[in-house]
Amino acid sequence: MKKKAISLLLASAMVVSLAACGSSSSDSSSSSSDSSSSASDSSSSSSDSSASESASADTSAEKADYHDILGDTGITMVVDGTLTATTDSGQAELVEQWEAAVGIPLDIQQLDHSGYADAVGRLFASGDYPDVMIMSADMFKQYEQTGLLWDMSDAYENADFQSRMTLPAINANLYTDDGALYGFSPAYGNGCVSYVKQSWLDAVGINADDIKTYDDYYNMLLAFHEGDPDGNGVNGDTYGVVAAGFVGSEAPYINYLPEFWQDAYPAILQDEDGVWYDGFQTEETKAALLRLQQAYQDGCIDPETLTASTKIAREKWFSNDQTGSSGVLTYWAGTWYQTLTNNLIKNEVDSDLVQLAPIEEITSSWGGYLNREAPVWVIIDSGDETRNQAVFDAFIETMMDGDVVQTLWVYGAEGVHWSTEAESFTTNPGTENETVYEYADGEFHLKQSPTDSNTVWSKNLIDPALMVCELTNGYVSQTELQAAGNEFFTENCVDAPTSPSSETYTNESGTIYDAKLAAVTSVVVEGGDVDAAMETYVATVGSIIDQCLAELNE
């Protein structure tokens, strides 16, 4: 990776602001429903402005052959767990095939998923920069104003893939007010739905169709804790729901426990008139904290939720030993419907899952489950416009080529993750879940996972159901569960609130989150007074919040 000058003040601010912002979304980018098409006009209106035209004329680079510019150094890419082709599951073959198709070297630096933002903060503070990297929407808004990211508006607007765009609004929404574009999203955001184990519902005599209100939901969690849903003969050794934290460190913050937060949004957001305010300092948030407090005390929520990562939460949920597990896991829609089912099968646990429709309180307040803002790919500004353009052409342009390279990012490496050659294989042989797959020569299909012969590979970096540009080679593979999951989420989701972006928020978001987490822990885990916890929160970061709001509402 390249060294790039950065002030000590900015470096310190980056580490502090991102200290608590580990990405979990990207399991999902893992993950991700469509923004409104009306927003697609924003790019044209902003890029048509005279200021934008002037900036464009000053910064546009003459398009050159990226092989001549990057041939010796190649591209360094930083990514989180969004990339499922890890070093253990075919990453070497992925890189080999990408390099053969693009014609330059590629160095993938895959950082730990749950601590991704922390690692990025340390990376940037050291001055060691990649060429391209993935960022959550929240991270992106923080870095957007730092001067570290390259304005790719000209490159994007003149990209060959524009003619194949099916969801232009996703990236149109990323433009700044002055027409700059510092990131590109190859897919829309997605969100989480609440999955419930059917066998647990059967064990406690509850019908999922009857779970319509918060009281219905809460009584189901109580039954999962007080009864014997895992069938081991012991009451009270299971929980209702497990999650990766009581409140998220990045937008949309409430997606792992939406039923409890229902009408609250514990972050800075805009009201109907466009005025920014702190959603944490509201009566709705106090009510949510008291709901969480009661659920924690009643055993409805697994206590490990306080410190669990997404990996810990989901692995405990589908563990072979269901003692200490939970009946509900709110997690990413679509592809994860299949992945969670596969893991239950793998661990010999009843795999029948129900996707729970949003309870009435969620529907009446938000309109449905929240569809997060899409993660983006950014290019670190090298100071050389010709090189920046070359990085765009070699990485982002090819990512959406509709054919060979896009297939690599969507499905993985040929012969490792997918194939068009005739073959047959069997998963879970000798069990009730045994499945035989047979494919004729020339038929596109996904192969067995490189790390688990009893599961079939599903995707690589980009979810095939969420792409903003379609593949032109006709390669399509989606299981019935994936299709059902995407359809269910699309029918039951609304876009999450827009994330804030201001200088103070960029520098202090980590401090704000720490104060928020302290208040949540005090009330929910320690059983403290909610008003006292809120007073401490205001005393700790109230002035910082006020400064953020002043900047946002200018």
Q: What is the pLDDT of residues 394-416, one digit of tens each?
A: 999 999 999 999 999 999 999 99
Residue 42 has pLDDT above 80, yes or no: no
Asked if residues 220 and 239 have their Cβ atoms less than 8 Å apart, the reply is no
The model's pLDDT over 342-372, given as tens digits with 9 standing for 90+, comes to 999 999 999 999 999 999 999 999 999 999 9
At position 182, the amino acid (one-letter code) is Y
Taking CA atoms, 173 is separated from 140, 145, 188, 366, 531, in Å, by 13, 16, 11, 20, 38
**pLDDT value of position 9:** 32
Taking CB atoms within 8 Å and a gap of at least 24, the contacts of 549-553 are 549/268, 549/276, 549/277, 549/278, 551/502, 551/503, 551/504, 551/505, 552/268, 552/276, 552/500, 552/501, 552/502, 552/505, 553/275, 553/276
In terms of pLDDT, which residue wins out, 320 or 49? Answer: 320
The model's pLDDT over 193-210, given as tens digits with 9 standing for 90+, comes to 999 999 999 999 999 999
**pLDDT band at 272; cut points 50, 70, 90:** very high
State the average pLDDT for the chain.
88
Residue 324 tokens, joined? 């200490």
**pLDDT band at 63; cut points 50, 70, 90:** low
Mean pLDDT of 256-280: 97
Rounded-to-integer distance, Cα 288 and Cα 247, Å = 11
Rounded-to-integer distance, Cα 136 and Cα 422, Å = 39
**pLDDT value of position 1:** 53
pTM for the structure as a whole:
0.79
**pLDDT band at 250; cut points 50, 70, 90:** confident
**pLDDT value of position 26:** 35
Environment class of 3 (CB within 10 Å of its CB; exposed 0-12, middle 13-18, buried 19+): exposed
Q: Residue 220, SS3?
A: helix
**pLDDT value of position 58:** 39
Length of the chain: 554
Q: Residues of the chain with pLDDT > 90: what percent?
A: 78
List b or e across 86-119, with b for residues whose CB sees 16 or more CB atoms inside 10 angstroms: eeebbbebbbebbeeebebebebebbebbbbbbb
Mean pLDDT of 507-518: 94
In terms of pLDDT, which residue wins out, 546 or 5? Answer: 546
**pLDDT band at 177; cut points 50, 70, 90:** confident
Which runs of consecutive H residues, i.e. helices, occur in 227-326? 258-261, 283-297, 310-317
**pLDDT band at 156; cut points 50, 70, 90:** very high
**pLDDT value of position 457:** 95
Asked if residues 230 and 325 have their Cβ atoms less than 8 Å apart, the reply is yes
Mean pLDDT of 447-465: 94
